[in-house]
Structure 1
Amino acid sequence: MSMADLLVIITDVLLRTVVVMYFPRSFLNITPVCSTNIVVAVAATLISVWFTVAFTLDRFLAICYQNVKAKYCTERTATVIMGIVTVFSCLISVPWYFTVEPEYNIDNTPRGCVWKQTFFNLTSWASFELLMYTLVVGFPFFLLLLINSLTARHILVSARVRKVLLGRNIGDNDKDREMGSRRKSVVLLFCLSGSFILLWSTYVAYVLSERIFGIPYVNGSDLESVAIMLQVLSTCTNTAIYVLTQNKFREQMKIAVTYPIYLIVNLVKRKHAC
C-alpha cells in the first residue's frame, strides 16, 4: 500500500504536474512520454485504491473469521492478490494513452498533452471513463463501507458479549482497556470510508459536471486544482490512518528516523577517537 501511494505521488504529482509545469522543455513533456506517465499514474491510483480494499478485507477476515485467518491471511495469498491487482490495473489503464494529443511542437517534436476532442464527443470514451470511475471510486467505496460496517458490527457484538461475561451492565461506566480499544477500532473503520468518499467527491463531481451537464473542463481553474489535490491526497490517507495507529509501525518509524542520527554520532566519535 505504501509503495503504491508513493508511486502515485511520484507519477501524478512530481512527474505529471511539478516537472511539466516548471520544466516545460524537459523530456517528460514529450507527448509519448507524457501519455505514458498518464497511464502509469492512473494505474498507480487503481493499485493504491484496490490495495486498500484488499487490506481491509484481510483485516475483516482476521477479526471476524478466526477459523479462516490461518488459511487465507498469509503472505502467499497477499502476494497473489497484489499481483492480480497490479496486472489488471496496468492493462485497464492502457487506453488512457490514446486520450491525449500534442499541445504544440518544438523542432518537429510533439510536446505537451491535451485531451482529444473525440474524448468528449464519443460515447465509447464516455463509457470507458464511467467504467474507470466505477472501478476507482464507486465499487471500492461500496466495498469499504460494507466491509467496515460488518467489521464494526462484529466488534460491537463482541463488546456486548465481553461485558456480559465480565458481569457488567451495558450502562456501566467502569473503564475497560479492551473496550476502549474496540471503540477506537470502530471510529477508525468509519474514518477510512468517510475520508475516501469526501476526498474523491469533489473530483468526481467536477468530471460528472462535464459529462452529464455539458459544463466544459476549465484547465488550470481553482476548482480543478482543488479537486486534483484532494483526489491525490485520498491515495495516502488510508495508508496513513492504518499504519500510524499501529504501535509496531510507530516504533519502526522512530528507529528509521533516529538511525541516521545514530550513524552520524558514531562516525563523529570515531573521528575524534582517531
Structure 2
Amino acid sequence: MEKAAILLTREIYYPILASFGVPANLVTIAILSRGYCGLSKCITVYMLGMALSDLLVMIVNVIVYHIFTYHFPLSVLLHTPVCKCVLYLTAITLDMSVWFTISFTFDRCVAICSTGLKTRYCTERTAAIVLTTLTCAIVFKDVPVLFTYETMQIIGNVQWGCKTNARFAASPFGSTFFQCHFLFLCPIPYTLIFLFNSLTVRRILAASRVRMKLRGNKSTNEQDPEVVTRRNSIILLFAISGSFVLLWLTAVVTFLSTGITNISSYPGDRANPAYIATEVGAMLKLLSPCSNTCIYAATQSKFRAQLKEMAKSPWGIMLKLVGRFLWW
C-alpha cells in the first residue's frame, strides 16, 4: 500500500529537525555558560533555561516520541507503562519550553516598565527561583497525563501501545484537565505574550519621545546609546516571542477546528486535510525550540563572535566548560 505523502514528509522532517536542533541547543548552552555574550546574568539564566528546555523537547518529543516510537513499533518504548511515561515527559518538556519563554518575556517587561521593581525582580537569583518554581509546577500539573491513556492491546500478557482513556476523557475531571491543559499551552501564553509586549512597546515609545525632547534634536536620536541599547533588547525580545507565536499559530488553529490531540494514534484517513493540517502544526511548533539559536546569532553580535570561536576550536572550549562544571 502506498504511503501517504504526509507520512513520508514526517519521516524526513523529524530526523533533520533533530540533527539540527540538538547540536544547536548544545552549542547555545555552551556559549551562554561562558558568559561572554555581554548579557546580564539575569537574561543569561533565562536564555540558558530556554535552551535547556528546548534541548529536552528535541530529545524527548522529537527523537524519542516522533522518531524512535514511529520507526521501532515493537520496542520497549511501546510497552504501555513506558509509553505513558514518554507521553508524560513530552507534555512536561513542551510546557517548560512555552512557559520559560513567557517568563523571559515578563522579565524584560518588568526591566523596561518598572524601574523600582527591576532592581528586586530582575536578578540572577530571582530568575533561577522562577524557572525552578515553573518546572515543579509543570511536573505536578501534568500528572493527570499518566491517567489519560490506557492499553491499546495485550499480546502475550504484555501491554502494548497507548490510546486515550475514554472513561477518563468523559469524566468531569478529565474534561476539565483537557481544557485547562490546552488553555495553559496556547491561549493563555498567547495572551500573556501579547500583553507583556504591548506594555513594553508602550513604555519604550514613551521613554523615547521624552529623550528626544530632552536632547532637542531628533536627528541625533539614532546615536543615543540608551536608545540603541533599548532597540537591541526589544529586537531580541520580539524575535523570540514573535517566533513562538508564528510557529505555534498553525497548531492552535488546527486544534480549535479539528479537536485532534494525538496525531500518532489518529484512526482516520491520512490524506484527510484535517489530519495533514494537524501534522503540519505539530511539525511547526516543534521547530520553535530550534529557532532561538538562529535568533541569537542574528541579533547578538557577541553571540556570533562566540559561535565563530567555537567553530574554530570546539573541543578546547568544551573541555574548559567541563572543567568549570567539575570545579563547581
1:260 aligns with 2:309: no
- The partner residue of 2:141 within 92, 107, 119 is 92
Q: Structure 1: state its 5+ residue gaps.
A: 264-274
**Residues 34 and 112 of structure 1 are in contact (CA less than 8 Å); yes or no, is this contact kept in structure 2?**
yes
Partner residue in 2 for 1:155? 204
Matched residue count: 258
Partner residue in 2 for 1:54? 103
Map 1:139-218 to 2 at 5 A: 139-169=188-218, 172=219, 175-176=222-223, 178=225, 179=227, 182-183=230-231, 185-186=233-234, 188-210=236-258
Partner residue in 2 for 1:272? none
Give the Å deviation of 1:262: 6.6
Specify which structure has the bigger relative contact order, considering alpha-carbon pairs within 8 angstroms and separated by 6 or more residues: 2
Distance 2:180 2:283 in 1: 22
Distance 1:177 1:110 in 2: 66
Question: Given the superposition, is the C-alpha separation of residues 236 and 147 from structure 1 closer, same or farther in structure 2, using an over 3 Å criterion?
Answer: farther
Asked which structure has the greater CA Rg, the reply is: 1
Distance 2:267 2:251 in 1: 13
Question: Given the superposition, is the C-alpha separation of residues 40 and 195 from structure 1 closer, same or farther in structure 2, using an over 3 Å criterion?
Answer: same
Deviates more, 1:10-19 or 1:69-78: 69-78
CA-based RMSD of the aligned residues comes to: 2.9
Distance 2:316 2:239 in 1: 36
Partner residue in 1 for 2:58? 9
Distance 2:126 2:221 in 1: 41
Give the Å deviation of 1:26: 1.7
Question: Given the superposition, is the C-alpha separation of residues 210 and 121 from structure 1 closer, same or farther in structure 2, using an over 3 Å criterion?
Answer: farther
Distance 1:259 1:69 in 2: 38
- Residues 220-255 of structure 1, C-alpha deviations (whole Å, 9 max, x = no match): 532231121122223444575357523333333233
Give the Å deviation of 1:217: 5.6
**Residues 150 and 162 of structure 2 are in contact (CA less than 8 Å); yes or no, is this contact kept in structure 1?**
yes
Question: Given the superposition, is the C-alpha separation of residues 155 and 243 from structure 1 closer, same or farther in structure 2, using an over 3 Å criterion?
Answer: farther
Q: Structure 2: state its 5+ residue gaps.
A: 1-49, 318-328
**Residues 255 and 278 of structure 2 are in contact (CA less than 8 Å); yes or no, is this contact kept in structure 1?**
no
Question: Given the superposition, is the C-alpha separation of residues 262 and 10 from structure 1 closer, same or farther in structure 2, using an over 3 Å criterion?
Answer: closer
- Residues 20-68 of structure 1, C-alpha deviations (whole Å, 9 max, x = no match): 0111122112111111111111111111111111112222222333343
1:81 aligns with 2:135: no
- SS of equivalent residue, structure 1 residue 110: strand
**Residues 195 and 234 of structure 1 are in contact (CA less than 8 Å); yes or no, is this contact kept in structure 2?**
yes
Deviates more, 1:128-137 or 1:174-183: 174-183
- The partner residue of 1:247 within 282, 301, 313 is 301
Give the Å deviation of 1:103: 2.5
Distance 1:46 1:23 in 2: 26
**Residues 152 and 189 of structure 1 are in contact (CA less than 8 Å); yes or no, is this contact kept in structure 2?**
no
Deviates more, 1:12-21 or 1:140-149: 140-149
